[in-house]
Structure 1
Amino acid sequence: MMPAGGSINLMRTIAIIVGVSVAAALLSVVYLQHRSLTDMRGRLDLLEPGAVDEGFAQSMALHHQQAITMAQLMLDGRPTRLSLLARRIQGAQALELGEMRGWLQAWGKPLLPNSRSMGWMLLGDRSPDAALVQYLLDCEKSETGMPGLATNAELNRLRTSSGDERDRLFLQMMLDHHQGGIPMARFAADNAKIAVVRRLAARIVLDQSEEIASMRLLMQAADLRPVN
């Protein structure tokens, strides 16, 4: 038979263990509730875009779609020294395009801009600086509504060219394309309302800046001079 003191100590030990278990369970419930509320706030935030979020997603989706088209033209089975670059661009931009289209569908917004206007880039937290004003002027002057966005004639030229001429043309068009998209992404990285939109925009600035440097090196290494 257990002594009375031992029985009391055992009961105390059991009570402590039970108390710790209950406290742990309560903390777990509180954590899960907090996480659930955080996730819910994130989803609600995603469903309430600002004008910059919407404008960026639509304009950059259009921009990405053309880059994918150009990359696919280089992967039609004909000889090219740029197949790895074309596959990388196609893969990366297809993923980003899917992400942006997913946002737009969640927001109940059109997948493409309703007009060529880039007016959403005037809706930032600060007054537009000289570089942004010049970019918007270039957008207005551009035949396609955005600097670097290829015309149908340019796409047809890429489609029908071959050999080194096609490689040169692809690099030149993709360089122009990336350079024309970076100011838009940089603006969204600074001014979008939703954090996930800002993060994607910042990643696009970084990735396309790196690709611009790589393409310039490719042109130099292969002695692929710009096409007139």
Structure 2
Amino acid sequence: MMRNSQLPATVLRSALLAGAAVTATLVLSACGGNDHSSTGTGMNHGATTGGSPAASAVGTFNDADVTFAQAMIPHHQQAVQMADMADGRVADAEVKELAGKIRAAQQPEIDTMTGWLTAWGKPAPEPHMSMGSGGEHGSMPGMMTDDDMNKLMDAKGAAFDKHFLTMMISHHEGAIEMARTEVKQGSNPEAKALAQKIITDQQAEIATMRTILERL
């Protein structure tokens, strides 16, 4: 009777040990899987799939990164549009040079952010949606209204220079505000680096524009 009662206990003990080993293996496997995909924990991966060139290029991103790109694209588009208006209207050589600098800096940034949104599987704003802030972008800081844009378009010479500088200072201040939000809340390293670049570059341009305004 004692041999019969001990045998089931031995078998039971072996089964428990085997089950514990299997459980530990499963837990370790699960942990390994979590480490592999930890870059997206709590994030929206969009189109970033492991092992693809796009995934390594864009890395992790979150909603703040997407919002930054989707908002900054039309914001930049409007700045480029304002800079384009300088052709045939500007009088001051330094204002003309600044307009060219803004156009040259912001169009490549538009292209970069559009590429991010494509890689993330997120919609990019349609071209030319930045013509004034009467639509969905009206709440973005620094965006000019249709009346503002028409006023700038109708101005020439010294009047254009003053309107351009005044409007662009406000426009830049809005971009800096948006970029600061991205630096604080974003996840994607490239997006945050661009946001910091926008802050640095546009703060310097604001200082330049204020200096020009003082002498006009």
Q: TM-score, normalised by structure 2?
A: 0.67
- In structure 1, give the amino acid aligned to 2:190: V
Over the residues paired in the alignment, what is the CA RMSD in angstroms? Answer: 2.4
Q: Structure 2 regions of 5+ residues with no counterpart?
A: 1-49, 127-135
CA contact (8 A) 1:47 1:107 kept: no
Aligned mates of 1:179, 1:163 — CA distance in 2 = 24
SS at 2:141 equivalent:
coil
Report % sequence identity.
Answer: 37
1:44 paired residue number: 55
| Aligned position for 1:164 | 158
**CA offset digits 1:179-227 (Å, max 9, x no partner):** 11111101112221110011000000000100100000010122xxxxx
Mapping of residues 128-207 of structure 1, within 5 Å: 144-207=138-201
Q: CA deviation at 1:167?
A: 0.6
Whether the 8 Å contact between 1:80 and 1:163 is mirrored in structure 2 is: yes
Equivalent position SS for 2:84: helix
For residue 101 of structure 1, report the CA deviation from its aligned partner.
0.6
Matched with 2:124 is: 111
Counterpart CA distance in 2 for 1:102 and 1:143 is 20
Contact 1:48/1:107 (<8 A) preserved:
no
- Distance in 1, matches of 2:60 and 2:187, equals 9
Shift of 1:143: 8.7
Identify the match of residue 75 of structure 2 among 63, 85, 88. Answer: 63
Contact 2:64 2:185 in 1 (8 A): yes
Matches within 5 A, 1:19-34: none
Residue identity opposite 1:66 in structure 2: Q
Given that 2:89 and 2:155 are in contact with CA atoms closer than 8 Å, whether structure 1 keeps it comes out as: no
Q: 1:40 Cα deviation (Å)? A: 4.9
1:100 corresponds to 2:113: yes
The structure 1 segments of at least 4 consecutive aligned residues displaced by more than 6 Å after TM superposition are none
Counterpart in the other structure of 2:129: none
Q: Which of 79, 85, 89 is residue 73 of structure 1 equivalent to?
A: 85
Cα distance in 1 for residues equivalent to 2:212 and 2:145: 24
Which moves more between the two structures, 85-94 or 142-151?
A: 142-151
User: In structure 2, how many angstroms separate the alpha carbons of the residues matched to 1:42 and 1:143?
Assistant: 32
- Rounded Cα–Cα distance in structure 2 between residues aligned with 1:150 and 1:189: 24
- Write the distance in 1 (CA, Å) between the matches of 2:137 and 2:199: 24
Match for residue 214 of structure 1 among 194, 208, 211: 208
In 1, the alpha carbon distance for the partners of 2:212 and 2:153 equals 21
| Contact in 1 for aligned 2:68/2:178 (Cα 8 Å) | yes
How many aligned residue pairs are there?
156
Q: Structure 1 regions of 5+ residues with no counterpart?
A: 1-38, 114-141, 223-228
SS in structure 2 opposite 1:175?
helix
Q: Distance in 1 between matches of 2:90 and 2:60?
A: 47
Aligned partners of 2:100, 2:166: CA distance in 1, in Å? 17
Tell me, in whole angstroms, the C-alpha distance in 1 between the residues paired with 2:203 and 2:52: 33
